[in-house]
Amino acid sequence: DAGVTQSPTHLIKTRGQQVTLRCSPKSGHDTVSWYQQALGQGPQFIFQYYEEEERQRGNFPDRFSGHQFPNYSSELNVNALLLGDSALYLCASSSMTGAGNTIYFGEGSWLTVV
Amino acid sequence: GQQVMQIPQYQHVQEGEDFTTYCNSSTTLSNIQWYKQRPGGHPVFLIQLVKSGEVKKQKRLTFQFGEAKKNSSLHITATQTTDVGTYFCAGPENTDKLIFGTGTRLQVFP
């Protein structure tokens, strides 16, 4: 039973570039949330996807966008990268219809913007 | 918006000593969740508390949810080096969005 998988694990980008991060939820889960975790801070909610639609959005600019595919996997896109976008990006998987609603986090994608 | 604070920010203990972290929300929570994040790792779900005044135990870990459902605590008895990491509480702002606390980083010296 595969857990939450994210790719890539580490990447370095230059200011102004664009990045795409990918997430496959845990088997049986249909909901994907994305979080940004800056060094020394707690995760901050970016947005959540369910049924291929964005359900809720945190306090992040439009440079952050996402998508969910029919197989429940998801992408996070960040345009016009800034130095301050350097962080660990976490994908969280859950089931909107399942009991318990335990949230599982992937190992994250470490993004460094130089 | 909802804010979740944790104290202390850091705690260094000798192995065998007890440890407690406290979590306070600016709003009443439907539930409180606790996560552990090892250095360089990702948050791992520990437990969810739902009822007012609820107390749950996991081996050496004791979790409490306050009567007003605005605060919570995690107590570790007789810490071990494997307990090292950052402990986060998190409360849902709604069904879709988890607000994480500021975290307490625990260091255990052998």
HEC string for A16-40:
CCCEEEEEECCCCCCEEEEEEECCC
Task: Look over chain A and give the mean of its residue pLDDT values, rounded to a whole number.
Answer: 93
Adjacent-strand bridge partners of A78: A19, A64
Give the per-residue pLDDT at A98.
58
- Ranges of residues in chain A with a pLDDT under 70 are 1-2, 98-101
Whether the CB-CB separation of B106 and B86 falls below 8 Å is answered with: yes
pLDDT average, residue stretch B98-102: 93
Task: Give the one of A42, A90, A92 whose C-beta lies nearest to B101's C-beta.
Answer: A42
State pLDDT tens for residues B5-61: 999 999 999 999 999 999 999 999 999 999 999 999 999 999 999 999 999 999 999
- Euclidean distance between CA atoms A67 and A59, whole angstroms: 18
Q: Are strands A10-13 and A109-113 parallel, antiparallel or unpaired?
A: parallel
User: Do residue A106 and residue B42 have CB atoms under 8 angstroms apart?
Assistant: yes
- Euclidean distance between CA atoms A85 and A95, whole angstroms: 28
Task: Give the one of B45, B48, B97 whose C-beta lies nearest to A45's C-beta.
Answer: B97
Residues of A in contact with B49 (CB under 8 A): none
Q: Tell me B5's DSSP state.
A: E
Give the per-residue pLDDT at A90.
97
Give the per-residue pLDDT at B2.
82
